[in-house]
Amino acid sequence: SDTCVHAPTVRVRPLTCTETRRGDQRVVHSLGDGTVHVSAARHDVTFGFSAVFDAGASQEAVFEGSGMRQLVELAIDGFSCTVFAFGQTGSGKTYTLMGPLAQSETRPAAPGLLGLMQRSFACLLEQSQSCGSGLALSVSYLEIYNEQVRDLLSPGPPCALPLRWSKTRGFYVENQLNVDFESLEAIADLLLQGSQRRRTSAHTLNRHSSRSHALLTIHVRSRASITPTTRVPQPGACPSKQGTLCFVDLAGSERVKETGSSGELSVEANNINRSLLALGHCISLLAKPQGKRMHIPYRDSKLTRLLARSLGGSGITLMVACISPSSRCLSETLSTLHYASRARRVTTRP
Ligand code: ADP
Ligand code: MG
């Protein structure tokens, strides 16, 4: 079929030590049939999704069960594929995408804990080695912080890059670095460098990364077979295809408390709320039947501009909603699940 559902997947993380120690109740349960059950004093709701991963699910199970491997194969086939993790701060978005971040190059994370990103990289490079002419791979890594786009791969102090639009390219970031890579070590290294840049560019480490959206995009070009002597495509060879695989670690979706001040915090909060709202708005408009569809307001935020191509009909999107099982997170958990349910109805024809 040429219709592709933006499949939402839910991952429930285990209770953390702190949560267990202070006696938080588990209010989220999964029955193993694609449903999530939220039951607390005044709530008893069941949601259905294409896949639900409970606290016991391994990183490998999430990779295999979410359809991530197929997404990698579609990117090799020339499609624009996007996976995005969303949910409140501390719900496991970064863990799901990257695993626990390595402390340094000499102390990498245990292989079993690697996230969707590293597993996808391995899958891409395996495929590249197994097909004769290989794949041409390159990566860009950006973050959107306070509605400014910054390059996480370029050395030196972070500076804002302009986001532009052209008829041929659609929305694109001017002067963004796009680095070629050929090995798993090289891409793992770029991921680590970029993530460290994201983490250390703020005074309070955790706050910055939970207040910014990070987008890592792999460009996959399959080379048409070329004979070394003539340098022309062999008769019958496939034309070259160009796909992308984009990983989006969204800013924490929790409502930031109104501080009443006009300080830095409330500017940040407004920007996050605005871009997540814009994303939700685009998704719910896309969920309407084709005939009733209005103009999709991608221009409302930098995030939706950068995601326009993958959301809007030429791409395939995998959403991973991350939630905490704790009673203390109940209202955020419900809002994440509602947000994910809305995205369930979006279909596109890549
Ligand atoms: P977020 O990126 O959504 O803010 P993190 O990925 O940083 O959240 O996760 C918060 C904490 O919970 C981290 O200490 C992380 O290691 C832990 N954690 C998250 N998901 C899991 C999981 N599935 N299994 C074990 N620990 C997890
Ligand atoms: Mg995070």
State how far the Cα of 139 lies from the Cα of 189, in Å rounded to an integer: 12
Residue of the CA atom closest to atom 23 of ligand 1: 13
| pLDDT on residue 199 | 64
Whether residue 95 has its Cβ less than 6 Å from ligand 1: yes
Query: What tokens does 138 get?
Result: 């390159």
Give the sign of the dihedral formed by CA 274, CA 280, CA 283, CA 288: negative
Mean pLDDT, the chain, whole residue set? 82
| pLDDT on residue 224 | 64
Reported as half-sphere exposure (CB side, CA atoms, 13 A), residue 117 has a value of 29
Pairing of strands 80-86, 241-249: parallel
Residue 228 lies in a domain: no
**Any idea which residue has 């929305």 for tokens?**
171
Q: Strand ranges (DSSP E) for 1-153?
A: 4-5, 7-12, 28-30, 35-40, 43-48, 51-53, 80-86, 135-145, 148-151
Ligand 2 mean position, distance from CA 192 (Å): 14
CA-322 nearest atom, ligand 1: 3
Alpha-helix runs per DSSP H in the chain: 17-21, 59-65, 68-76, 93-98, 116-130, 184-200, 205-210, 264-286, 302-311, 330-343
Q: Looking at the DSSP assignment, which residues form a beta bridge with residue 42?
A: none
The total number of residues written for the chain in this structure: 350
Residue 206 lies in a domain: no
| pLDDT on residue 316 | 82
Q: Yes or no: say if 12 and 28 are a contact pair by the CB < 8 Å rule.
A: yes
| pLDDT on residue 207 | 61
Digitized pLDDT (tens) for each residue of the chain, 350 residues in all: 233 445 589 999 999 999 999 999 999 998 878 889 999 888 888 988 889 999 999 999 999 999 999 999 999 998 888 998 999 989 999 999 999 865 555 667 788 999 999 999 999 999 988 876 789 999 999 999 888 999 999 988 878 999 999 988 888 999 999 999 999 999 999 999 999 888 655 445 456 667 889 999 999 998 765 445 545 555 555 567 889 999 999 988 876 554 444 566 667 777 777 788 888 778 777 766 666 667 888 888 999 998 887 776 567 888 899 999 999 999 999 989 988 887 665 555 55
| pLDDT on residue 218 | 96
Which residues touch 28 (CB under 8 Å, ≥6 apart)? 12, 36, 37, 38, 323, 324, 325, 333
Residue 57 lies in a domain: yes
| pLDDT on residue 164 | 93
Reported as half-sphere exposure (CB side, CA atoms, 13 A), residue 286 has a value of 29
Whether residue 13 has its Cβ less than 6 Å from ligand 1: yes
Ligand nearest to the CA of 253: 1
User: What's the DSSP call for residue 26?
Assistant: B
Residue 235 lies in a domain: no
Q: Could you report the per-residue pLDDT of 63-111, keeping only the tens digit for each?
A: 999 999 999 999 999 888 899 899 998 999 999 999 986 555 566 778 8
Residue 229 lies in a domain: no
Helix (H, G, I), strand (E, B), or coil: what is residue 347?
A: strand
Query: What tokens does 260 get?
Result: 């009443």
Residue 123 lies in a domain: yes
Q: Find the Cα–Cα–Cα–Cα dihedral 285, 288, 292, 296, rounded to 10°.
A: 20
**Considering its fold, how many domains does the chain have in total?**
1
Residue of the CA atom closest to atom 19 of ligand 1: 92
Whether residue 89 has its Cβ less than 6 Å from ligand 1: yes
Determine the angle formed by the axes of helices 184-200 and 116-130, rounding to 10 degrees: 150
Residue 107 lies in a domain: no
CA-91 nearest atom, ligand 1: 3
Residue 182 lies in a domain: yes
CATH number at residue 332: 3.40.850.10
| pLDDT on residue 2 | 31
Is 230 annotated as belonging to a binding site? no
Is 82 annotated as belonging to a binding site? no
Structural domain boundaries, residue 90: 4-99+115-198+212-223+240-254+262-286+294-348
State how far the Cα of 299 lies from the Cα of 267, in Å rounded to an integer: 19
Q: How many CB atoms lie within 10 A of CB 123?
A: 19
Residue of the CA atom closest to atom 11 of ligand 1: 90
